[in-house]
Structure formats: C-alpha cells, structure tokens
Chain A
Amino acid sequence: MIMKSRISPFSQSECFRLRQGLTSGLVMLLPLLLRPPVRYPHTSALLVQCVRTQRCKTGTVLCSQTEHFLRLRIPLSPQSRGNKNQSRRSKGQEEDWKTRNKTVLTYIAAAGVGMIGLSYAAVPLYRLYCQAAGLGGTAVAGHDTDMVETMKPVKERVLKITFNADTHASMQWNFRPQQSEIYVVPGETALAFYRAKNPTDKPIIGISTYNVVPFEAGQYFNKIQCFCFEEQRLNPHEEVDMPVFFYIDPEFHEDPRMARVSTITLSYTFFEAKEGQTLPLPGYSYN
C-alpha cells in the first residue's frame, strides 16, 4: 500500500491558528495605517507647508489632494467667528468629510476582503512550508515502491544502524537482535535479523511496533518488509529468525538537517496480543 502525503490533524489546527494570528495582527495594524489626523494646529500648518514646498514627484494631483486634505482636517484659523463663514465652511467641510469617509470606508473594506483572501491563501502556503520544513510529522512526498527500483546508492555516506529489542513486561518471549549494528548507505536495501524464542509451554502471540531514533531520520527509514504490526505466533519452545528488509531514502543525504546524523537506532518492542486482537496499522484506512 502506497502512502500518499497526508496532513495530520495537528497541522490543521496550526493552520487555523496561523490564520487567526494573521487576521488579528493586520486588523490591529489597520488603525495605525489609517491614523487619525493630528490634533495640533501648528503641526498641521507645518505639514501643509511641508507638502506644498516638497513638490512631490508623484504628480500634482496627489499634492493638491494632500494639501486639501490637511487644510480641511484642521482649520488653520481656529477662531473664526461669523455664521456665514461657519455655515459655508461647515457645508464644504461636510461634503469633504463625506467623500473622505467614503474613501476611507472603501480602503477599509478592501483591506477586510484582502484579509479574508490572505487567510484562505495561508492554508496551501502553510502546507508547502510544512512539507519543505518537515514540521508536525507530515509525510515526505514521493515515497513509493517504484523508487526502490530506480534509486542509486549514495556510496559516500555510510550510516551505522544499531538495533535494539524490547519486550513488554508481561511478554515472556526472549527477543533480541542478531547483530548489534550494520553499516549501510542511503539508497541501498539492507537485511537485518532478530531472533525470538518462546520459552514457555504454551503458544504466545506477539505483535510488535518499532521506533527510530533520531525522529527526523525516521521519515527516511523505509521498511520494505518486516515482522511488525501483525500477529506472530510462536509455539512452545520455538525459536524463529525475524528479518527486517529496509533501506534509507537517498534523499537523506541531501537533507541539511541530517548532515550530522551518522547513527540511526531501530528499536522493536513486542507486546503480547490477545486472540483476535488487531493493532491499528498506521497509515491504513479502515473500512
């Protein structure tokens, strides 16, 4: 069964969190970007003068608009009394305020739509990032059995694989590896043996799982065939050899995080299985 790349639920909640974070962060920045205008008249006068004398190169339209904007935001002569002036100014001001409000609202709406779009875009972006960085246990893309035929051994990188065997406390088998270590190179298939003996007078069914240390190297450790995850029955006083046929993915050599890894430990643990019990096989779906 070929394992396709699959997102674990863990990374989806991370996705959701990232989305929330982006949205809230940018919403918080919005008021800073659309800052309320300055309240102090003398700074506003300076601003208007600055804008006028600057001769902005982006076009006279923008200059005049900025001047207009600044002059009308804060009245430069704050104390003018006179109803005619006030009504004229207030009418003009109201219109300008209306147009200004409209533009500001348009900008805010556009920013809101942009945030929503960004939060949707974050999901595939995060997935790409996860696959590249290998976070959250996402499966390495491109792991399939046809690769075994075409892969080339990377002869310059020699790795030492050490073997460890454990049994559960109540499991009475004698289980041990037949070699303490083996030297392999990535891209080359290798065979290793464990031995299990049932010293008791009744048949015992065992089922095993494995672990690879360091964890990051575990994604490159591919087993073609082994004796794990399925029930193995040993009759009384029976001793068998249990082979493990595996290879290290040649991409191991190109991963910069694996540059200092030269020893990988494969550890098997046997548990006693009750009759008819099935261990959930990782990566398989159940019907």
Chain B
Amino acid sequence: MSTAMNFSSKSFKPRAPDKGSFPLDHFGECKDFKDKFMRCLKDNSYDNSLCRVQSKDYLECRMEHQLMAKEPLQRLGYKDLIDPPSPSSESDKNT
C-alpha cells in the first residue's frame, strides 16, 4: 500500500516519533501502573479521556525509573491535570 506506484494515490509516509523510542521496561518496574491503566480502560469501555490520570501516573513512573526522558507534564499534554487545585478538581471530574 505504501509502495503503490499510482500517480494520484496518497501513500502513507511513516514519520519518526517526536521524542524517539521508549526504552524497554525489561524489569517490569512500571507494570503496576500499566495494569491500573488497562483496568481503568476496561472499566470505562476504552475511553481514553476517563483514564488520563492513570496514563499520567504511568509516564511519571517511567520517568522516575529512567525509562523515559524527564519532561514537564504540560509538554506531554497533561496541562489540565496539573493546574492549581480548584480548576484541577473540576478538570479531573471532566476527564
């Protein structure tokens, strides 16, 4: 499909990820967080917006164990989850 030689077909061009590749979690250090996230997804019929706190926890675990480059969470799209307390409780309810 991506090698189709048609003139007018739009072929898919894979792009490298912005921050590169995740190092593999060989020792399962963040497995608990991942299990929590997966359970949350299953309970909420796989709706990502309801499980953002768990995904944030997983990424924080990765950063702690040197499995991910440390980045402020706003740059990963979690700005609404780390706002000052009063709006964040509202946004937590929304997400």
Contacts and interface: CB of A to CB of B under 8 A. Distances in A.
Interface of A: 1-3, 8, 134-137, 145, 148-149, 151, 153, 155, 178-185, 188-191, 193, 209-213, 215-216, 218, 222-230, 232-235, 238, 240-243, 245, 247, 281-284
Contact of A183 (B2, B26, B47): B47
Contacts, number: 139
Contacts of A230: 20-21
A47 B11 CA distance: 58
Given A151-B77, A179-B41, A243-B58, A134 B10 contact: yes
A191 to B, nearest CB: 4
B15 A3 contact: yes
B25 A241 contact: yes
Contact of A182 (B10, B14, B24, B41): B41
B31 to A, nearest CB: 7
B57 to A, nearest CB: 10
B19 interface: yes
B48 interface: yes
Contacts of A238: 26
Contact of B58 (A1, A2, A137, A191): A191
7 contacts: A8-B13, A135-B10, A183-B46, A190-B55, A191-B48, A211-B1, A225-B18
B10 A242 contact: no
Contact of B31 (A8, A212, A241, A247): A241
A229 B76 contact: no
A284 B31 CA distance: 32
Interface of B: 1-2, 10-22, 24-26, 28, 31, 34, 37-38, 41, 45-49, 52, 55, 58-59, 68, 74-79
B24 to A, nearest CB: 5
Contact of B78 (A3, A189, A226): A189
Contact of A189 (B25, B37, B68, B77): B77
A229 B49 CA distance: 28
B29 to A, nearest CB: 11
A134 B10 CA distance: 9
Contact of A190 (B10, B22, B48): B48
B17 A247 contact: no
A188 B77 contact: yes
Given A218-B12, A229-B16, A243-B58, A193 B38 contact: yes
A200 to B, nearest CB: 16
B34 A282 contact: no
Q: By CB atoms of chain A within 10 A, which of B17, B25, B52, B76 has the most?
A: B17
Contacts of B19: 145, 224-225
A245 B16 CA distance: 13
Given A1-B18, A145-B19, 6 more contacts: A212-B12, A213-B1, A226-B22, A232-B24, A233-B24, A240-B24
A153 B50 CA distance: 13
Nearest to B80: A153
A190 B13 CA distance: 21
Contacts of B76: 148, 189, 224, 245
Contacts of B47: 182-183
A102 to B, nearest CB: 45
